[in-house]
């Protein structure tokens, strides 16, 4: 059997080249910026689970006409006083969580189509941040909060086309617990009468343009804009429908949920609309009826207390 011979060269005869220090690979700042930009430009896919356009190249604006007016609970870059047309704001939606309990639902507002296509519902539109991760968190929370409501796309009109928001309207204090006990103040009543003509007449209608509005964020990129609104239709399980003002007021005064008393929702909504200078006959009538009932209960309680003291 032959043997395999391995010849090892003489180290002295075979000199290997001396290796210097291993060079450090450095990326230029321009290259790093380019790489970062490439990574940042990678499209996100958060929008897919919501059935919405891409979060990367779309600006979203959400129209609020109920509790969002005083309790947003999400970040926003700008707010605009606006209205939609062809709808009525009505206390026809039931809530067994936020303002009521199972078997004793509270009442909150929804929007239903109006026979009058020019009828207006005033509220505020909130421009959401551009960051896709923030949008993902906001829409996740909103879809839970607005359970039973459908997210729909709407046309929004500027409530005061010449100067953006109602800048001529005096700033009124935020709603307080006093709203539970007091009648509409003369200040609110006067404001409502003055501003209704200011808002509803004398100026050409103008669709909301967030790129031209005085409240718009500075230097915002021009993207496709989607205006959204949450609406509970008559088909949803929580819909409780029409009732007399007295019946609705009685229900509202006796219901409460995890977000607080149902009456708080009604009184805060009415206060917010008055502070905007907006009018809403349905909301204001229900607000007045509920407060009249409260005054009657307080008077009855006071009379009963006097009778007890008289017998003592």
- Catalytic residue, chosen from 81, 146, 251, 264, is 146
Residues 6+ apart with CB under 8 A from 258: 97, 98
CA distance 220 to 190: 38
Q: Give, for 289, the enclosing helix (H) or strand (E).
A: helix 281-311
Residue 79 designated active-site? no
**Ordered DSSP codes for 15-34:** PPPPP-PPPPP---HHHHHH
Burial of 16 (0-12, 13-18, 19+ CB in 10 A): exposed
DSSP 8-state class, residue 238: T
CB 47 within 8 A of CB 60: no
Three-class SS state of 246: helix
| Residue with tokens 């291993």, as numbered in its chain | 22
Residue 204: CB atoms within 10 A of its CB come to 6
Q: Residue 84 phi/psi, 5° resolution?
A: -115, 160
Residues 6+ apart with CB under 8 A from 254: 104, 262
Helix-strand-coil split of the chain, %, nearest 5: 35, 20, 45
Q: Looking at the annotation, which residues are catalytic?
A: 146
């Amino acid at each position: 059997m032959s043997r395999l011979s391995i010849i090892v060269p003489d180290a002295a005869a075979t000199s290997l080249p001396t290796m210097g220090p291993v060079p450090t690979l450095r990326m230029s700042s321009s290259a790093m910026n380019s790489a970062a930009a490439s990574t940042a430009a990678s499209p996100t896919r958060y929008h897919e689970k919501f059935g919405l356009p891409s979060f990367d190249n779309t600006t979203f604006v959400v129209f609020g006409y109920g509790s969002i007016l005083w309790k947003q609970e999400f970040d926003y870059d700008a707010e605009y006083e606006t209205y939609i047309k062809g709808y009525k704001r009505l206390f026809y939606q039931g809530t067994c969580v936020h303002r009521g309990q199972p078997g004793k639902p509270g009442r909150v507002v929804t929007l239903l189509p109006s026979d009058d296509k020019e009828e207006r519902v005033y509220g505020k539109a909130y421009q959401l941040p551009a960051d896709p991760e923030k949008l993902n968190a906001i829409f996740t929370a909103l879809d839970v909060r607005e359970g039973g409501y459908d997210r729909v796309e709407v046309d929004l009109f500027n409530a005061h086309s010449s100067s953006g928001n109602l800048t001529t309207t005096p700033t009124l204090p935020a709603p307080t617990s006093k709203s539970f006990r007091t009648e509409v103040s003369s200040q609110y009543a006067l404001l409502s009468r003055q501003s209704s003509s200011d808002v509803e007449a004398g100026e050409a209608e103008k669709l909301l343009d967030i790129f031209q509005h005085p409240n718009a964020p500075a230097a915002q990129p021009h993207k496709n804009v989607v205006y959204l609104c949450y609406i509970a239709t008559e088909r949803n399980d929580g819909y409780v429908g029409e009732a007399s003002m007295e019946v609705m007021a009685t229900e509202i005064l006796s219901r409460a949920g995890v977000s607080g008393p149902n009456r708080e929702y009604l009184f805060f909504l009415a206060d917010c609309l008055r502070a905007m200078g907006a009018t809403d006959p349905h909301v204001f009538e229900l607000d007045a009826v509920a407060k009249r009932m409260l005054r009657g209960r307080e008077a009855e309680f006071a009379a009963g207390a006097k009778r007890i003291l008289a017998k003592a």
